[in-house]
Amino acid sequence: MEQKLEIFLQQACKDLYQATLNEKQVQVQKTRSEFEGDFTIVVFPLLSISRKSPEQTANDLGEWFMAHLDEVDDFTVIKGFLNLSITAKYWIDFLNSEKNRPNYGYTQKGKSKPVVVEYSAPNTNKPLHLGHIRNNLLGWSVSEMFRASGQEVVKVNLINDRGIHICKSMLAWQKWGGGKTPESENLKGDKLVGEYYVKFDQELKAEVADLLGKGMDKEAAENNAPLLLEAKEMLKKWEQDDPEIKQLWERMNAWVYEGFDKTYNRMGVDFDKVYYESDTYLLGKELVKDGLEKGVLYQKPDGSIWCDLTDEGLDEKLLLRADGTSVYMTQDLGTAQLRYDDFDPSKLVYVVGNEQIYHFDVLKLILKKLGRDWAEHIFHLSYGMVELPHGKMKSREGKVVDADDLMDEMYETAKRTSEELGKFDDFTSEESERLYNILSLGALKYFILKVDPKKTMTFNPEESIDFNGNTGPFIQYSYARIQSILRKAKEAGIETGENILTDCPVSAKERSLIRLLYEFPQTVQFAAESMSPAQIANYVYELAKEFNQFYHESPILKENDNLIRDFRLQLSRFIGNVIKSSMGLLGVDVPERM
């Protein structure tokens, strides 16, 4: 309808003012909720051609639309805004044509190049934590929104399985592990390895303190602590394929991968392809050496290789250390090249925290210097950190909210809250357990994804479980309420028929709900373009809130007029389907019964 209004607005200005509009002058938008109408035409850009007041111009256009467009049945003028009301017939025709369409709101997949979305990218020296949860949920949801908007998507993960931080946990286990395994400790492998990463930091601090006590300055103490020097030596041996070090590395990483997979499965995220830094860094080193030979990069006297970005307003960037070992940037160069070779993507999206903005600016610039024009299609989807009511997390010190522990806490919170409200007293223990899982994960995912990715957020488990307000459980309950209505209708033998009759009266609240359903496809497209699941979350909350107001104000099954009753049942079913689709894009399940 918006496109049709834009076309007719062009014709109206030709008829009324003998003028052709440019793109900026054509402004059609949704009418704000506090005003009557469905679509609003902004009149101010047209005053230069009408040479009349805003009110008079809007009135001229309103009368023209009433005379020339059958779907417009009324209009109001609010200063420089023309609010057009669309006929009930148009909205009923829309419901009849779309209410039973599978995947309503989704665009059929095209034939364009794929979008590659990287998310998660954990290190194999610690378990996933709250920050990883936001990363995974955001990456997975953005991928699903791309797919819903008609794009081919490849979801990838990069496992950071090598480097000094990995050697730290390996060395600590070697020194103090005593042969412990996940099986012997009855502990997930990623948690066991994480404990030794924390142990390394504790022992390193003790060594640094000892050196400081002997009169060494702080920088020298931090750089020359024996434990750190041992870890650096271990990294060198790893890159030299020392068999003993490689065997230990493979063993401990296997523990971590098994632990990660359990967390991913519980979280409901997956990947189409997994890359490993231990593979990609080798290609990165080749690219660096090739850049050196071509004179794009330069080598310092100590043997380290650098890229000079001062002409771009940045600094010099280290790509290979003097001892020949690589840095993060090295493997990211190799990973980007591999993904381009594997998929020839239209876009490479990296879901990484906003503290890495500089890193990705540098990555693009270096790739361009190396002659990779496709680097222009790299996009860093940066997001703000997740904080807790008591502050930030520090993984080296063990001060993190473990992802598994948080999901356990969410489950217990959902269970406790539900039992206090007495909501599911008639459920079996198996039904209750399944429902608590759905509610707890829904609360967690929705609470995180409803916040715009760019914003830093504070996560509060208690707030997220609330059955009222802008929460996952409130929307899940709204869906379950609709399914309950539909079940009761079926039990009562009510057959609603295939189509809604065009002469069925439509209330203002019903029109508002239909307009929201009409906006779903546009919302999906806009959310995909902006890479913001918050757009979907805000939309589905508004839809659920409007439905609940409608439910309390308007009888459905008890409506005496069968025509209106059947219309409301079909409208409710359509709303339920769109709630389910919307929440699905956020990775949130909706229960049939609550």
Q: Given this model, what pLDDT does residue 392 score? A: 46
Specify the amino acid at residue 531.
M
| H helix runs in 346-505, sequence order | 357-369, 403-421, 429-449, 461-464, 472-491
Q: How far apart are CA 414 and CA 467, in angstroms?
A: 10
Q: What is the pLDDT of residue 421?
A: 75
Single-letter code of the amino acid located at 234: M
Averaged confidence pLDDT in the chain: 92
Q: Which pLDDT band, with edges at 50, 70 and 90, does 504 fall under?
A: confident
Handedness of CA 156, 162, 165, 167 (dihedral sign): positive
Q: What's the start-to-end Cα distance of the chain, in Å? A: 37
Burial (Cβ within 10 Å: 0-12, 13-18, ≥19) of residue 86: buried
Question: For the segment 483-494, what is each residue's pLDDT rounded down to a tens digit?
Answer: 999 999 999 999
Burial class (CB in 10 A: 0-12, 13-18, 19+), 374: middle
Q: Where are any strands of DSSP class E within 79-225?
A: 81-86, 115-118, 153-159
Which whole number is the average pLDDT over 134-145? 97
Q: Which of 210-219, 317-326, 559-568 bottoms out in mean pLDDT, i.e. has the lowest? A: 317-326
The 3-state DSSP class for residue 149 equals coil
Percent helix, strand and coil across the chain, each to the nearest 5? 60, 10, 30
Looking at the domain that runs over 2-86, which CATH code has it been given? 3.30.1360.70
Q: Is 583 helix (H, G, I), strand (E, B) or coil?
A: helix
What Å distances lie between residue 420 and 403, 405, 414, 442, 479, CA to CA? Answer: 26, 22, 10, 19, 22
Go through 550-587 and write b for each residue having 16 or more CB atoms within 10 A of its CB, e for each that does not.
bbeeeebeeeeeeebbbbbbbbbbbbbbbbbbbbebbb
Segment among 6-15, 115-124, 462-471 with least mean pLDDT = 462-471
pLDDT at 501: 77
Measure the CA angle with vertex 459, ends 454 and 465; round to 5°.
Answer: 125
Tokens of 61: 């256009």
Three-state DSSP class for residue 160: strand
Could you tell me if 198 and 396 are in contact, meaning their C-beta atoms sit under 8 angstroms apart?
A: yes
From 448, 439, 435, select the one nearest 403 (Cα to Cα).
Answer: 448
**Cα(94)–Cα(521) distance, integer angstroms:** 13
pLDDT, one tens digit per residue, over 169-195 is: 999 999 999 999 999 999 999 999 999
Distance CA 287, CA 163 (A): 19
Mean pLDDT of 57-74: 94
Q: What confidence score (pLDDT) does residue 394 get? A: 44
Determine what percent of the chain is predicted with pLDDT higher than 70: 98
Q: Is 119-387 a CATH 3.40.50.620 domain?
A: yes
Q: Assign a CATH topology to domain 405-585.
A: Isoleucyl-tRNA Synthetase; Domain 1 (1.10.730)
Percent of the chain with pLDDT over 90: 78
Q: What are phi and psi of 276, to 5 degrees?
A: -125, 130
pLDDT digits 0-9 by tens, 380-436: 999 998 887 764 434 444 456 889 988 998 999 888 888 887 767 778 888 889 999
Q: How far is CA 591 from the centre of its chain?
A: 22
Count of alpha carbons within 13 angstroms of residue 525, beta-carbon side: 11
pLDDT in tens, 339-359: 999 999 999 999 999 999 999
Q: Where are the domains of the chain?
A: 2-86, 119-387, 405-585
Helix (H) or strand (E) holding 30: strand 28-30
253-257, 287-291, 323-327: least confidently modelled range: 323-327
Residues ≥6 apart with Cβ < 8 Å to 542:
516
pLDDT above 50: residue 153: yes
Q: Supply the pLDDT for residue 398.
A: 45
Pull the structure tokens for residue 306.
């650098």
| Band of residue 544 on the pLDDT scale cut at 50, 70, 90 | very high
Taking the CA of residue 56 as centre, how many other CA atoms within 13 Å lie in the half-sphere pointing to its CB?
Answer: 8
